[in-house]
């Protein structure tokens, strides 16, 4: 009995010694696994008008992995379409161990078409040795900078010759770009004396040649303190004319708040100012009257204020945005006649001015522009869809 008690005490002491010894021994910590996270980055680039280019989507790895990472990827359409705008890409990407980044290249087709920017998507999925941050979906934005805008040529054509006249000068707009030996760009957004809302630029976003036509494009976009951009081209110091028959073939935007104009100012404006230099409005249209154009002359009255003599031409059907029309003036000494599609609708001569001096027996230069808003048309409203475009097929001067 005593031996059993002694044996039990020895056994208990051994158990306690073992337990105490184990609790005091160092504990080896279990390492926490390192998990790499994948993040795919959006891409935005300008598209080339002719040749294919590559969009590179970077996939960042954080932290790096001591093992190779694999991840599946695939493109999908947005407003850009596979086979037309980009080449489908799909497969498995391997990012070697210790690398901080991988990438996938997607080929973008060259295209000169004038169109809004487009998007497509690249999505990663099914990673091995990593996880994906967020949705794993990146956006590729194709910034379109093309200047080809398809337009028909339907409408009225003026004759190539007139009895008693010879073609003295023309711009048929068949070059690759606007001829800056002829045309200047007015720049700025100060309202231009009429509380206009646009900022005029020299950007190909606002003025360009396409399909044998000059296109002036008004856009809803911020430039400085202006919410719209457009273009205003002139020939001051490069091309002035005095007398003759002028034909301008154009298709005109007619939405509310638009104010397209084809007009002339006296070449002496820098010395005598406006209105003493004279102004000839071959065509003006305000969008609230889409079937009406106005031909006008303006001059300085005796008290210095602007005098106006004009009349309006109304289309018998439709509006001026539906097809091309030819806006003409016959300009002689002390005489103007304004014409639409061969139909005269207003005649002015020096006796039309009852106050001030007739300033029109002198050289004038051309101005083509599309204004947005202003005192006459008022601002655009919810019915106005941008961009708005004026197409000019040709300007011809016969003398």
Where residue 380 sits, what CATH number does that domain have? 2.60.120.200
Tell me the per-residue pLDDT of 246-261, one tens digit each, with 9 for 90 and over. 999 999 999 999 999 9
Is 218 found in the same domain as 361?
Answer: yes
Predicted local confidence at residue 42, as pLDDT: 98
Where residue 270 falls among pLDDT bands split at 50, 70, 90?
A: very high
pLDDT at 366 over 60: yes
Pairing of strands 101-108, 53-62: antiparallel
In this structure, the answer to whether residues 185 and 90 fall within a common structural domain is no
HEC string for 98-150: CCCEEEEEEEECCCCECCCCEEEEEEEEEEECCEECCCCEEEEEEECCCCECC
**Range 118-129 average pLDDT:** 98
Please give the average per-residue pLDDT across 194-201, as a whole number. Answer: 98
Q: Are residues 68 and 206 in the same domain?
A: no
Q: Are residues 171 and 289 in the same domain?
A: yes
At 265, is the pLDDT very low, low, confident or very high (cuts 50, 70, 90)? very high
The verdict on residue 8 lying in a domain is no
| 284 classed as catalytic | yes
Work out the percent of the chain whose per-residue pLDDT is above 70. 92
Question: What pLDDT, on a 0 to 100 scale, did the predictor assign at position 10?
Answer: 47
Does one domain contain both 326 and 182?
yes
* The pTM of the whole model exceeds 0.85: no
CATH of the domain at 71: 2.60.40.2030
Among 196, 198, 217, 284, the active-site one is 284
Are 249 and 326 within one domain?
Answer: yes
| pLDDT tens profile 85-99 | 999 999 999 999 999
Distance CA 26, CA 339 (A): 104
When pLDDT is averaged across residues 322-337 and rounded to a whole number, the result is: 98
Whether 16 has a pLDDT exceeding 50, the answer reads: no
Q: Does residue 28 lie in a domain region?
A: no
What's the chain's average pLDDT?
93
273 contacts: CB under 8 Å, gap ≥ 6: none
Structure confidence by residue, pLDDT tens digits, 156-166: 999 999 999 99
pLDDT at 4: 47
For residues 250 and 238, what is the distance between their CA atoms, to the nearest angstrom?
Answer: 22
Q: Clarify whether 6 is annotated catalytic.
A: no
Residue 162 lies in a domain: no
Cβ–Cβ under 8 Å, residues 235 and 365: yes
Lowest-pLDDT choice from 7-16, 43-52, 136-145? 7-16
CB-based contact 188:200 (threshold 8 Å) = yes
Distance CA 215, CA 76 (A): 34
How many angstroms separate the CA atoms of 287 and 372, rounded?
10
Helices and strands per DSSP (H, E), number in the chain = 2, 27
**Rounded to whole angstroms, what are the CA distances from 147 to 2, 99, 110, 211, 353?**
110, 42, 13, 9, 44
DSSP state at residue 29: P
Same domain, 131 and 173: no
Same domain (yes/no): 205, 336: yes
Residue 149 within a domain: no
Give the count of domains, the chain: 2
208 and 265 part of one domain: yes
Has residue 202 been placed in a domain? Answer: yes
Q: How confident is the model at residue 17 (pLDDT cuts 50, 70, 90)?
A: very low
Q: 33: pLDDT confidence band, cut at 50, 70 and 90?
A: confident
Residue 90, SS3?
strand
pLDDT score, position 25? 55
Residue 41: pLDDT over 80: yes
Q: Give the pLDDT confidence score for residue 34 in this predicted structure.
A: 81
* 386 half-sphere exposure, CB direction, 13 A CA radius: 21
Q: Are 98 and 211 within one domain?
A: no
In DSSP terms, 92 is beta-bridged to 72
Q: Evaluate whether residue 155 is within a structural domain.
A: no
Q: Are 368 and 281 in contact (CB under 8 A)?
A: no
Is 82 in contact with 140 (CB distance < 8 Å)? no
SS3 10: helix
**Choosing from 172, 217, 279, 322, which is the catalytic residue?**
279
95 shares its domain with 172: no
Identify the domain containing residue 344 by its residue range: 167-398
pLDDT in tens, 173-192: 999 999 999 999 999 999 99
* Residues β-bridged to residue 267: none
Cβ pair 129, 98 in contact under 8 A: no
Q: Are residues 81 and 193 in the same domain?
A: no
Cα–Cα distances in angstroms (integers) from residue 168 to residues 161, 222, 240, 246, 364, in the given order: 11, 41, 12, 10, 15
Residue 373 region by backbone torsions, left for phi larger than 0, else alpha for psi between -120 and 50, else beta: left
> Has residue 18 been placed in a domain?
no
Residue 287: count of CB within 10 angstroms of its CB: 25
């Amino acid at each position: 009995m005593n031996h059993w008690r002694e044996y039990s005490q020895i056994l208990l002491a051994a158990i306690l010694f073992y337990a105490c010894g184990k609790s005091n021994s160092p504990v080896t910590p279990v390492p926490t696994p390192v998990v790499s996270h994948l993040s795919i980055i959006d891409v935005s680039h300008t598209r080339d008008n002719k040749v294919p280019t590559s969009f590179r989507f970077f996939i960042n790895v954080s932290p790096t992995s001591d093992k190779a990472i694999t991840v599946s990827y695939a493109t999908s359409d947005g407003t850009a379409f596979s086979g037309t705008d980009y080449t489908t890409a799909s497969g498995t990407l391997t990012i070697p161990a210790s690398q901080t980044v991988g990438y996938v290249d997607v080929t973008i087709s060259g295209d000169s078409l004038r169109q809004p920017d487009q998007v497509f998507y690249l999505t990663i999925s099914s990673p091995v040795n990593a996880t994906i941050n967020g949705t794993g979906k990146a956006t590729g934005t194709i910034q379109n900078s093309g200047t080809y805008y398809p337009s028909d040529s339907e409408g009225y054509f003026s004759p190539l010759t007139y009895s008693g006249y010879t073609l003295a000068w023309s711009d048929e707009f068949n070059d690759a770009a606007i001829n800056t030996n002829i045309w200047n760009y007015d720049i700025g957004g100060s309202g231009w004396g009429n509380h206009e809302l646009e900022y005029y630029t020299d950007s190909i976003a606002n003025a360009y040649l396409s399909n044998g036509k000059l296109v002036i494009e008004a856009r809803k976009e911020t430039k400085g303190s202006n919410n719209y951009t457009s273009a205003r081209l002139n020939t001051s110091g490069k091309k002035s004319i005095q007398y003759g028959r002028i034909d301008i073939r154009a298709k005109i935007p007619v939405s509310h708040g638009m104010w397209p104009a084809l007009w002339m100012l006296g070449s002496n404006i820098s010395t005598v100012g406006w209105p003493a230099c004279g102004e000839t409005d071959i065509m003006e249209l305000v969008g609230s009257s889409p079937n009406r154009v106005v031909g006008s002359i303006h001059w300085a009255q005796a008290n210095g204020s602007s005098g106006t003599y004009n009349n309006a031409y109304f289309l018998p059907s439709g509006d001026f945005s539906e097809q091309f029309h030819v806006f003409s003036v016959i300009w002689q000494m002390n005489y103007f006649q304004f014409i639409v599609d061969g139909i005269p609708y207003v005649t002015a001569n020096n006796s039309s001015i009852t106050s001030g001096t007739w300033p029109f027996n002198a050289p004038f230069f051309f101005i083509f522009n599309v204004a947005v808003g202003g005192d006459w048309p008022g601002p655009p409203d919810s019915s106005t869809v941008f961009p708005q475009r004026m197409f000019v097929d040709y300007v011809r001067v016969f003398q």
